[in-house]
Amino acid sequence: MTSSTTPSGLLGDTTTRDYSRKLKLFNAFAAPELRQAMASLALKPGMRVLDAGCGTGEALGWLAAEAAPGGMVIGMDLAASHVRAARAIAPEDSVQVLQANLLEAPLALASFDLGWSVNVINHLRSPSAGIDALAALLRPGGRIALGQSSLLPDMYFAWDSRLERLVNEAVRQYYRDRYQLDERDLTAVRAIAGLLRKGGLQDVRAHTFMIERISPLRAEDEDYLVEAIFRDTWGSRLQPYLSSDDYEELERLCDPGHREFALRRQDFHFLQSFTLVVGTVRG
């Protein structure tokens, strides 16, 4: 079993790592598109669904509603803090949540109709092993639905493509330095369709949903962008990777108290992709 302090994946995940706030912010922000993606699967009443890497659990109730009446959703996550958060909001009659590693899941083989997993495969050292483990839990004819955000570069500053490019490059360099990764490690997730085919799944299909926001923003959109992106993903960690002038400009755009704050601009236009790739287990 994975110890509490041994990273189980590329991005430092452990049983004790906690990024609950960021997960909650993303789920509230992207809820319309995530629910649209779920609806596209046309789940049937009574289905058994596994959410592998359920995080803080907001999607569990949505999946349960898609499989109602009579469906059952199992949420599974590596981090203890995420599991506690998910259990606190999970509908008791149709959802169960457990703490486990996907590669060592204490679940019966061939017992689920759908394996749903969002922004998880990119954390694994071997995405193929993760897909094989998930496929083994599905019944013949069951489906894997892998969701991944940002396969395309996100657009934050529509009016300044230069600064946007520099910031994206700085983020990638930060992750390469922090986790000793190379460019292929960070971008291999783009090949989800190929990974499913390599895993023997059939009828592999992909659909990309655009998460698009313009000003004025919902509170959920502003919270996510300011906290999860402007502060936690960018913030002071990018200072070593940008010139002093570019970093100062970025700070101004990300500061809610500054007159140049990006989210108050009339021309603010945000785009982020969310791609759902679905494959069927051989019957």
Q: Which residue has the tokens 């659909």?
A: 207
What whole-number distance in Å separates Cα of residue 202 and Cα of residue 31? 28
157-200 pLDDT, tens digit per residue, is: 999 999 999 999 999 999 999 999 888 887 888 999 999 999 99
Q: Domain 20-280 - what CATH class?
A: alpha beta
Residue 136 has pLDDT above 90, yes or no: yes
What whole-number distance in Å separates Cα of residue 218 and Cα of residue 145? 28
The single-letter DSSP state of residue 133 is H
Residue 9 has pLDDT above 80, yes or no: no
- Residue 135 has, within 13 A of its CA and on its CB side, a CA count of 21
What percent of the chain has a predicted confidence (pLDDT) above 90? 90
> Identity (one letter) of the amino acid at 106?
P
261-274 pLDDT, tens digit per residue, is: 999 999 999 999 99
What whole-number distance in Å separates Cα of residue 134 and Cα of residue 204? 15
Could you tell me the two tokens for 177? Answer: 């330095």
The reported pLDDT for the residue numbered 3 is 47
The model's pTM is 0.94
The single-letter DSSP state of residue 217 is P
Distance, C-alpha 125 to centroid of its chain = 16
- Annotated domain spans of the chain: 20-280
Strand residue runs (E) in the chain: 48-52, 72-77, 95-99, 112-118, 138-149, 202-214, 269-280
